[in-house]
A and B are shown apart, each in its own frame.
Chain A
C-alpha cells in the first residue's frame, strides 16, 4: 500500500499552501495581506477554488473563522501576516482554544535567515502562541510544508478540537518543491482516546440506574462529538433531567420537559438547585469552569460525579471525580445505551420521577420581575426578538456582557451550533466577526448578533467587510450607555462607584449608513417587530440601535465564589 501520492510538478511554497487547502476541502478563508505573505496573495490572485474574505482587522479574521467553524463543524481557516498581523490574531486564537473549536491559523514570518534579528514586522509568534493554541509549527523548509499542514488540520479537528498555528517564513513560501500530499499523519505523541473504558462505562451506568436524584450536566464537548441523539436517548431511557452549560446551548432542547436549561452564575436557579442537591452528577464534555461551579467546596457536595471527557486534563482539575471516563462523548454514551439495552438494567423510574417533580416545584418559586421605568427593558427586547425569529432556525451570536447572559437565558435553543458565544475567554468583540463567519458558513440562515454598545465598538470596523461582501448580519445593539455587566458588579459589590463604566458611543444608525449598511433605532416596544422584519427582509448588513433602560440587572445571579444555590433573583430577593 502506498502511503503517499506523488505528483511530479514543482510548486512554490505559496502554491503548495493553496493545494493543501484544496486537499483539506477548504473553500473559504478569512485574512489580511502583508509583506511576507504576498507570495500567497499572488497565488490567490488566479485561484478559483478558494474564496478569500478580506477583513478589516486580523482579530476579526480569527473570530470569523471560529464563527464559521462553529456553525459548519468544519475547521475555520485564517491567514495573516507576520508581526502585528500575527499578534492581532492572538485574542482570536486564545478564544478558540478556550472554547475548543477547530481553527488552522496561518501566519507569515520573516525569512528563515532573518529570524531572531529583529527584522521588520518580526515577532516570535511560535513563542507567543504556545500557551494559547493546541499546537504550533514553524515551517523551516518548503519540503515540510504539506506534511505540517496535514498534521495541523488533523490536530485541530481531532481529540478536543482547538486552534493550530502554522508560521510560514517568506522564503519558504517563495522556494519550490515537489508537492507531495501525505495520506496519513504520523504523530506518535498524539493519540486521543475515543472509547471509554468498558468497566468505567458499566460502573457509570449502574450508578445512574440506581441514582435517586441524578442530573446530567451537558457541556460543549457534546457539540464537538455530535452526540445530541445519544444524550436525548440516555435522558429518556434513564429518566434523568439535563442541564447545560453556556457552551452546550441546544445540545438538549431547552424546550424539553426534562431540560433544566442553563446552570451557573446566571443560570436557572432550579438547575443550580438540582445540581446542588443531586446524588449523582453525570457530566459530559465540560471543564467545570468557575462560572458553572460557584464555590467548589459546595458544588454537588453530596453527589458521586461521573465525568466523560476526551481531554484527560479536564478530569480532576477543578472537581474531584468519582468515575472518570476518558473518551468521546458520543462513543461513551452509545456504549452506555448498548449496555443498557442488552443487559436488562432495572431503573427506579418512579423515584426518579419524584425527583423531576421536586425540580418542577422549585421552578414555581420564581417571583415576577418588575421593570420599574418607562424605558425599554433589554429583557423585553431580547424576548420579543427571539419569539419573532425562533421559527426561522436563526443563528444567534453574542458579544460578552449583560446582553450575552440575557440572550443565553431567553433564547431557548433546540439545536446545537445555533448559539455562538465566547464562553471561556469572554471576548468582547467576538460576536460581530463570529456572526460574519457564521453567515459565510450558512449563507441561507438569518444571523443575528446580539451585542452591547460597549462590545460592538471593539470590532465595529467589520461593518465594512460585511458591506463589501454583502454579508447580511443583523446587529441588535442593546444600548444602555454602560458597560452593563461591570456596572452591575459595581452596583452590588463596589459601593455603586461606577468607575469607568459609563461609556459613550457613536450614533450607530449614522455609523451604519456611513459604511453603506442599514441603520435602525428602536426606542419603544412596538417598534421592535416591524424593525426586525424590515432588517431581515432587506438582506443587508444591519445595525439596530435599541435604546434601553440603563440600570437593568441580570438575574438570577450567583455572586462569584458563592455556592450555586445561593441565588439572587432580584436586588433584594435572595432565594436559598
Chain B
C-alpha cells in the first residue's frame, strides 16, 4: 500500500522583493512511497531535493499538483491543500521532518529536545525522557552532554540529537535530510540501524543523502533529481 502519492507536483517561488522574479524549483514530480519503504533522494546541490522534502512537510506550499497522504485513520489527505490544522495534527502524530541542521529551541537540554515529540504524543514526560536517554546512549552521545544545551554542540553531536528527535515518536512517515553526513562510520551504522528498525515497524522514509555508503544500506529505491525534475525511472535496489 502506498502511503504517499505525489502527482504532477510543481513548485515555483515568486520573489516579490526581486521584481516578482520567478524561480521554479520543481517540475512535474511524480512518485509514490509504499508503507515500510525507504526511498533515497539524490541529486546535486540545488537540484530541488530539499524543496521536494519541504513540500511534503508543507514548509513549502506547492504551486501545483497533489501530495496524497494515506493517514493512519484511513483518510486520504492532500498535503498541498490540507488546512493548517490538519497538517499540524499529522505533524504531531505521524509525519516527522528531520532537517540537515538542528533547529531546536535554545536553552533546552539535549534530553528534553529529544524527548519533546514523544512527551507531546504520550503526555508522559518521564517516559519520554527515559526513551530519549536510551536513544542518546545507543547513538553514543557522551552522558556529560545530556543535560547541556545542544546549541553549543559540534556538528556530529547535533546531528545525533536531530536524528534521535526525529525517530523517538516512531513516525509513520519520516522525511530525513542527510542523516549521516557528519558522522563517523560506527555512528553511521547506528543511525542506519535505527532507521531500518523503524522500517521494520512499517515507517516509510524519504531520505536525502549524498552518501553511497548510507544509501546502499538503507534505500529500497533511489530517486534522482536534476534541475527540479526526476531524471531516472525509479531504480530498484535488490
Do the two chains belong together in a single complex?
A: no
